[in-house]
Structure formats: C-alpha cells, structure tokens
C-alpha cells in the first residue's frame, strides 16, 4: 500500500506520494485537495496522512476503507 501526505506548501495544498519528488495533485485550499485526493485514490489504494497548516499531523485515512486496519485495544 502506498503512503501519501497532504501538506501546505506556500499558498498551495499538495498531495504527494511519500517516495515522489513532485506532487500528485495541487489545490488552493485544503478542502479542494481532499476532494481531489478522494477522486485520485479511487483508482489507487493507499494511506493518506493529512497535515495541518503548520505541518503537524492531523489525521490518517485509508483508501479503500476496507483496507483500513482494525482498531487495536493496545
């Protein structure tokens, strides 16, 4: 499964595969990049780590949802 990150770079939000040099998708707002990510990921599977504007980790989403690991009790 591929790992992707949504981060803010200057005045743009970018979806970037963890091993890539260039962004997969770019948008002006976080809301738009999340929507573009949802469209892109329909033909790919992966883990998307969404970061806040300051770069700190916010949340992780797995696509497709059935690939999401079960919750652990640990």
pLDDT in tens, the chain (74 residues): 899 999 999 999 999 999 999 999 999 999 999 999 999 998 988 999 999 999 999 999 998 766 555 664 43
The reported pLDDT for the residue numbered 6 is 98
Asked whether residue 74 is assigned to any structural domain, the reply reads no
Asked whether residue 62 is assigned to any structural domain, the reply reads yes
Asked whether residue 48 is assigned to any structural domain, the reply reads yes
pTM recorded for the entire structure:
0.85
Asked whether residue 43 is assigned to any structural domain, the reply reads yes
The reported pLDDT for the residue numbered 65 is 62
Asked whether residue 72 is assigned to any structural domain, the reply reads no
Q: For residue 54, what are the domain limits?
A: 2-67
Give a three-class secondary structure readout of the chain: CEEEEEEEECCEEEEEECCCCCCCEEECCHHHHHHHHHHHHHHCCEEEEEECCCCCEEEEEEECHHHCCCCCCC
Asked whether residue 27 is assigned to any structural domain, the reply reads yes
Asked whether residue 73 is assigned to any structural domain, the reply reads no
Number of domains in the chain: 1
């Amino acid at each position: 499964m591929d790992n992707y990150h949504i981060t803010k770079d200057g005045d743009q939000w970018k979806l970037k595969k963890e091993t890539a040099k260039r962004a997969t998708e770019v948008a002006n707002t976080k809301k738009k990049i999340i929507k573009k990510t949802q469209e892109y990921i329909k033909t790919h599977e992966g883990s998307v780590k969404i970061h806040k504007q300051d770069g700190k980790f916010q949340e992780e989403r797995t696509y497709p949802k059935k690939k999401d690991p079960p919750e652990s009790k640990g």
